[in-house]
Structure formats: C-alpha cells, structure tokens
Structure 1
Amino acid sequence: MTAIPQGRTRRAVTVAAMCALAVTGTALTGCGSGDPDAGTNGVGKLSAATIQARTKKAAATAPTVRLSGTVVSNGTTFTLDMRLKSDGGTGSVTSKGASFRLLRVGEHLFLKADAGFWAHQDGKNDGKPGDTAAADKLEGMYVKVPTGDPAYKRFSGFTDKDVLLDGLLGLHGALAKDGHHDQSGVRTIRITGDKGSGGTLDVSLQGTPYPLLLGRAGNAGTLRLTDWGKDFPLTEPAKKDTVDYGRQLPSS
C-alpha cells in the first residue's frame, strides 16, 4: 500500500473541518463538489421569483404550521406563538405588556387572559379602573367572542393560517437571491425584496421548500415558521371553563 504524505493528510482534515463549520454557520458554500445545491431539493438553482412562488404554494398546501416571533403593525408590536391549521388555531399573543391566549375552532373564537387584561379592557383603555370584581371572575376562563363583536375581527386573524401567511410571506420590490444559509440545522436559500429593505425569506433546501424565517419589510418584525405538517389537537374548551356573553362582549 502506498503511504499518504502527512502534508496531504493534514490538508484533507482541514478541508473536512472547514466543511463541517460551514454547515453549522449562517452562510454555506459548496464543499467537495463545489456546488452549494448538491444534495438539496434543487430550489436554490431557481430564480428568486420562482422560489417565492414555490414556497407560497408549499405553505398554502401544508396542513399545519407553527408561527413564532414578532409583528409590528401600526406602530404596535405583537409577539406571537401560534399553531395553525386550516380550521383554526391556538397560541399566545403579547402586546403592550398584556398577554392572552387565543383558541379558534371553526368559527368559534375563545380568548383567555388574566384579571389585569380584563380590567384594562373594561376600563376601555381610558386609564380609569374597570370592574375588577368582574375581571377576577374572568381570569383563567375561556371567553367566547361573538362573531359580531369588534374583537372577533381584531383577534381571529391571528388564528387564521391562510390570512396570516398571505399577508406575511410577500416580499416588496425587486426580488433577488442572497446566498445559502442555515436555519436550525436546515440548509436554506435566502431571497430578498429590494435588496433586503423589502423583506427577506429563508426557504428550506431540504424536502418541501417551506419558508423557515421571515424578516418583514421595514423592520416590521421577524418570524420563524416551524413544525410544518405536524398535527396538533384543536378542540373547544369544556363548558365549565367557558363564559359566553352572547352577542357582544361587555368591554366592546
């Protein structure tokens, strides 16, 4: 057997180590074959516009997704952690120091919060104290939100997979590719709108080209999209844990 020179062995080890580091970093380059798309789903070789179309289609047809991060809308920052499917969703929303849970099953929307949230709502945001006794009774209960109540329109969108994804996944401006990256161990291709000012989107290069990380245009929040296709239970709360005010919430 022919002996391998030690210098060549050291170079081979160095190359292997550099490739391993590239996989764990944020930007990826091709190792060995020199092709960064080797062993991927091939989406990275497509145009930015085609990648965006593919990922939108993948997101629309997926049965479930988990969406977490921040969204800035009309100057207000919302922190979301929602699990969504076609017929509803569940999770938490935090805004202006107030946190609450949302649960929608079909058309039935439920809101669960602590007494402080309900006292603030009852005070109609005018800085005056609300009915703390009534708020205490609502703490920890699922309050059914009537479909005709203004709160229904305001909150139900957070539980609607199609509405959220349609509104979030679009990039603004001229589309372009911005290299290969890594999100939690998954290789991605990044596309941008208007060189990044119109938003950025990391798309999986492994399996189905799902969107994995979204940077919204104008620094309007960052969202992670995970658990694609993973089912979760979605059932209405027990009646003993539910308050139903009928046509309109008392605080509306």
Structure 2
Amino acid sequence: MTALPQGRTRRAVTVAATCVLAVTGTVLTGCGSGDPDAGTNGVGKLSAAAIQAKARAAAAKAPTVRLSGTVVSGGTTYTLDMRLKSDGGTGSVTSRGAGFHLLRVGEHLFLKADAEFWAHEDGGSGGKATDTAAADKLEGMYVKVPTGDPAYKRFSGFTDKDVLLEGLLGLHGALDKDGHHEQSGVPTIRITGDKGSGGTLDVSLKGTPYPVLLGRAGNAGTLRMTDWGKDFKLAEPPRKDTVDYGQQLPAS
C-alpha cells in the first residue's frame, strides 16, 4: 500500500475529525450541513402548533419556574419577579409605584409591604381604615390575607404556577414560526400568533423545550421564564413576623 504524503495525511485526519464532531453535535456546521437544528432537541423542525404544545407540556410538568418581567392587565402594569411551584410561590410585585412581597404556602397567602403601602386616608376601598401609626406597625410584617377577602383572589394568582402559565402561554390567532434566536445564551425557536400581533414565544432548543421568553399579545407585557425545575425553599413566615387580621384586611 502506497503511503500518503505527511501533509495529505494530516488534512485527511482533520476533515474526518471535523465530521465526527458535527455528527455528535459538538460542531453545528461543517461537512456541508448548515442545519440550524443540528445538535438541538429537534423542536425547531416541528410545526408552530406542535412547538407550542411541547412548550406547554414541558411547563406543566416542571415542578418549579421563575417568572420575571411585566404584565399589563386592566390598564395597570405589574412588574413581577416570582418563583413558583405547585403548592405556592414567593416574590415581588410592583404596581403604580407601590411594591410588595407575596408569599403563598398551600392556601395561606401573606403580603409584606412598607408603611406607605398600608397608609391611606379612609376605608373607602372596603377594608378597615389604617392610620399612620398602624401602618408603621405593619411595615415589614407578613400580613395574612383571608381567603374571603377580595385581595386574596387578586393576589393569589401571582403565586399560582398553573394559573399563571395557563393564562400567559397562549398565543392568539394563526400560529407561525419566526426563525431561530438566542435568549441569554440559550438557542431558541420563536413562534408567533397573527405574525406577532397575537404574541410571541421563544422556546428552548437546548434540552427540555421550556418556554423562555413571552411577548404578550397587544403589547401587554414581556415575561422571561428561567430556573425551570430548580427547587427552592417555601415556608410560612415565623409567627413573630406575622399579623392576622381575621376576615378582613386593612384597606390599601
């Protein structure tokens, strides 16, 4: 057998190695591939409807998630940073310049805010009036929200993983794909509703096809979804840090 010249041998070995790496997904281009889905979870090759279904299923199955960004509802903009799991959640919400912390463990919902949040002139909103002195005492305390209080329904939704994701992940109108993108270093495939006016959703092409970034229809906010499956501690606050008003919260 005639031996190849040394230079040609090296080139042949280099080409062979490159092709092996491309097949294993370490290199996404080379050997004439050019496939943007090479080395990914393959979701990008599916139809937009199938991608949405995969993302919804992955989100429903995940035990935890972190949601951060903005949601516009009823003309009000809420800025969220919530960590959620099946039996509750914890995090911060800011709206109309007022910020507060929410914590829900099972059915027990707690709200913590500063004195300014609780202070007001009268009880016109339906709750008990809170004077300045009382508001000062509530600052930094976890106030237990009664299940029958209107605030419970309004705020508990921010701590409910299933309710939030079910309401947020739907796109409106005809679904379509809008190419490959990248979010915080994660390759994604983007799907749209009504060419974007019905919302956009970036789905991870790395590992499990989790939703990564949501642009809500009608410019109703943008939410980033991270820390899928990453566990965190969720426990009720100590009694010394808790205030229980019984059946009705102070108005705020």
Match of 2:65 in 1: 65
Q: Could you give the per-residue CA deviations for residues 115-149 of structure 1, whole angstroms, max 9, x where no partner exists?
A: 000004865469xx951111001000000000000
What amino acid is the match of 1:31? T
Contact kept, 8 Å, 2:130 with 2:250, in 1: the verdict is no
Residue of structure 2 equivalent to 1:34: 34
How many percent identity over aligned positions?
A: 84
Measured after TM superposition, the shift of residue 251 of structure 1 is: 1.8
Q: How many residues align?
A: 224
Cα-to-partner distance string for 1:162-202 (whole Å, 9 max, x where unaligned): 00000000000000000000011111000000000000000
1:134 and 2:134 are equivalent in the alignment: yes
CA distance in 1, matches of 2:175, 2:29: 27
Separation (CA, whole Å) in 2 of partners of 1:122 and 1:51: 51
Aligned-partner SS, 2:7: coil
2: CA distance, partners of 1:186 / 1:61: 20
CA distance in 1, matches of 2:69, 2:121: 25
Q: Distance in 2 between matches of 1:241 and 1:247?
A: 19
After TM superposition, the structure 1 = structure 2 runs for residues 140-219 of structure 1, keeping only pairs within 5 Å, are 140-219=140-219
Separation of aligned partners in 2, 1:147 and 1:121: 25
Q: Distance in 2 between matches of 1:109 and 1:124?
A: 23
- Unaligned residue ranges in structure 2 (runs of 5+): 1-5, 9-27
Partner of 1:250: 250
Task: Give the counterpart letter for 1:116 in structure 2.
Answer: E
- Superposed CA deviations along residues 17-73 of structure 1, whole A, max 9, x for unmatched, are xxxxxxxxxxxxx73321000000000000000000010000001000000000000
- Partner SS state of residue 35, structure 2: coil
Q: Give distance in 2, aligned partners of 1:185 and 1:173.
A: 29
Can you give the 5+ residue segments of structure 1 that lack an aligned partner in the other structure?
4-29
Aligned Cα root-mean-square deviation (Å): 1.8
On the 8 A contact 1:215/1:222 being kept in 2, the answer is yes
Larger CA Rg, structure 1 vs 2: 2
Matching residue within 2, 20, 25 for 2:7: 2
2 CA distance for matches of 1:156 and 1:41? 35
Distance in 2, Cα, partners of 1:171 & 1:34: 30
TM-score, normalised by the number of residues in structure 1: 0.86
> Structure 1 residues 159 and 233 mapped into 2: Cα distance closer, same or farther (>3 Å)?
same
Q: Give the residue type in structure 1 aligned to 2:82.
A: M
Q: Distance in 1 between matches of 2:149 and 2:92?
A: 20
Q: In the superposition, relative to structure 1, how do residues 120 and 65 fare at CA in structure 2: closer, same or farther (>3 Å)?
A: farther
Contact 1:142 1:243 in 2 (8 A): yes
Any runs of at least 4 consecutive aligned residues in structure 1 with deviations exceeding 3 A, and if so which? 120-126
Separation of aligned partners in 1, 2:146 and 2:38: 52
